[in-house]
Chains A and B, each alone.
Chain A
Amino acid sequence: MKSLLTPLMCALLAAPAFAQEKPDTDKRIAELERRLNAMSQELETQKTGAAMPAAAEEGRFGLAPSASKVYGVPSGLSIGGYGEFLYQNFESKLQDGSKAPRETGLDALRLVLYTGYKFNEHIVFNSEIEFEHGGYSDESKAGEAKVEFAYLDFLINKAVNVRAGMMLLPVGFINELHEPPAFLGAQRPLVERRIIPSTWHENGVGIHGELAGNLSYRLFLVNGMNANPDEETGHEGFTGASIKGGRQFGKEAQANSLAWTGRLDWAPMPGATLGFSFYRGNSNPVDGAEALVTTLWDIHAEYRASGLQLRGLFSRITNSEAGVAALPATGDGFQTGTRQFGGYLEAGYDVLRGSGKQALIPFVRYERLNSQQRVVDGVTPDLANDVTVKTYGVSYKPIPNVAMKADWNQIENRARTGRSQFNVGLGFYF
């Protein structure tokens, strides 16, 4: 009996106490709800990295004029990179049918790390450090380890921002955008290696921004090229095949003569770009030497929509005749074309359109270039520099960041020494 009464007595005694606690329970639930709401808002802010709207009474909120800015979140380090590996197998015969020695190559072409640091919403540092051909060491001196760009951006407003440091010259398509999945083909187009000497980077300062009417521009003042070779530093200088040896890469660059470079792009609709770029400067910085004025320009167009990719570019280089003629007649620089041109058309189509993010893009590219279209008196143009390249290939991207490519370059020149090649490339970026 006692065992039955005890719980009953306890229940009766406890009843008033429960009745008294009910308001406290409601209060506690309200407090817990308030805390949960506050925590969920805090979580939302952490998740989005942006200050979320402050909840006002009854779950509504006003649009406070003193709303905090999103860049109030911790700023800092940004890391990216890309890499590419290239297998090349050259044809056993030259264009004229003569036999050529067996030649294949497998190269860790590039491994690149991007690092950037956002000091605040107005000042951003960006850099690219690149290892080419497996990198450089005392045992293997064929490779390179170099800074490709390292600049500070001072973001002032949409129309005018300032960039200073070592920067990529804004010419052509590839020089600024050269991550392997961003272009078709195991190799970059020859025109954008030999006529537009990608990758081209120098020290300088300039402005960039976006203008009304979907226009964007860049205008930089950089150290100019140096057409003169220098055995001590390994500087190649200009040759009949290309001006690319004149790039100084900002490495203790001679800056007696500065050069202007820039571009203007117009995006009339999403996926379409029309634009031009230029470079102009004296390529003979030796004090008192005859000026060798190099002018390079290109016009380019791109259209990408519904799996279709079309790209076209035409570029011309002129070097002042008096400047080239003043170079040592026994040197390679004397062979430099005073007038050069190059252009290409490229078309690809994603046959896996409609099947998720995978892409399989067969493509064709037609290139024409001549680095000695015109030369100074006393020079006979090398017909091997008058080149036609037809490329047929395919690029497979399992995800947008990774590309596997295979292509055939049919290379012909007017000297009939062209040697075609088969390439396989693997590239990625993140």
Chain B
Amino acid sequence: MIRVLAPLCLSLPLFATLPTTQEALALAFPGAQLARREFVLSEAQAGQVKALAQVELPGRWTVTYEARRNGTLVGVGFFDTHRVRTLNETLLVAISPEGRVLRVESVAFHEPAEYMAKEAWVKQFGGKALDPQLSLKGAIHPLSGATLTAHAMTDAARRCLALHQVLYREAK
């Protein structure tokens, strides 16, 4: 029996292994050329991000990954690291040039696995823009049994959308 089951189990994708940052970017922007870019927000910009996001901004240094196809910007990826319970999670939040979430992908999750949001739940963020509906009391349905994860992910999406608004849309 073990001879049958062991190869079957080991051939399936690993539950605990999340995509790497590179893999997450490739999932969000398939076939795109990616370029890393750094920003140091001015005090005014940081204040604007906080006001737009309605969540804390941990620092003013921000790195983005710009995705281009045939030279045209098709999206920007932000890696957002935040505390879930007592340990951190890092998400890739991929945003379209129009300021809508393309994809949210967890690349690091250090809490026990049962607190991790399920894929179907995370898909709710797709297409969402930075508006009051982007909250657990609005268009995002709560996550039973992992409330803190749900809050942390929603806050991260709001923070990244606000950064995108200030750095890319208003800077044009």
Which A residues are closer than 8 A to B by beta carbons?
A: 40-41, 43-44, 47-53, 55, 59-61, 63-64, 67-71, 73, 75, 78-80, 116, 118, 121-122, 124, 126, 153, 155-161, 176-177, 181-182, 209-210, 214, 216, 267, 269-273, 302, 304-307, 350, 353-354, 356-357, 359, 400-401, 430
Contact = CB atoms under 8 A, between A and B. Distances in A.
A78 B140 CA distance: 27
B45 interface: no
Q: Which residue of A47, A64, A161 has the most chain B CB atoms within 10 A of its CB atom?
A: A47
B21 A53 contact: yes
A79 B83 CA distance: 13
B63 A70 contact: no
Contacts, number: 169
Contact of B113 (A40, A124, A159): A124
Q: How large is the interface on B (under 10, 10 to 19, 20 to 34, 35 or more residues)?
A: 35 or more
User: Top 6 A-B pairs ranked by shortest CB distance?
Assistant: A271-B141, A157-B12, A270-B141, A67-B20, A48-B90, A50-B108
B35 A60 contact: yes
B17 A44 contact: no
B86 A430 contact: yes
Contacts of A71: 16-18, 108
Contacts of B87: 78
Contacts of B63: 40, 44, 52
Given A158-B15, A273-B144, A78 B21 contact: no
Contacts of B123: 270
Interface string B22-44: 11011000000111111000000
A155 B14 contact: yes
A430 B38 CA distance: 34
Interface of B: 9-10, 12-23, 25-26, 33-38, 54, 61, 63, 65, 79, 81, 85-88, 90, 107-108, 110-113, 118, 120-121, 123-124, 132, 137-138, 140-145, 147-148, 151
A158 B12 contact: yes
A157 B15 contact: yes
A124 B20 contact: no
Nearest to B58: A47
Contact of A305 (B13, B14, B16, B142): B142
B137 A307 contact: yes
B85 A80 contact: yes
B133 to A, nearest CB: 9
16 contacts: A40-B38, A50-B20, A53-B22, A59-B36, A60-B35, A67-B20, A67-B23, A70-B20, A71-B16, A116-B112, A126-B112, A158-B15, A267-B121, A271-B141, A304-B144, A305-B142
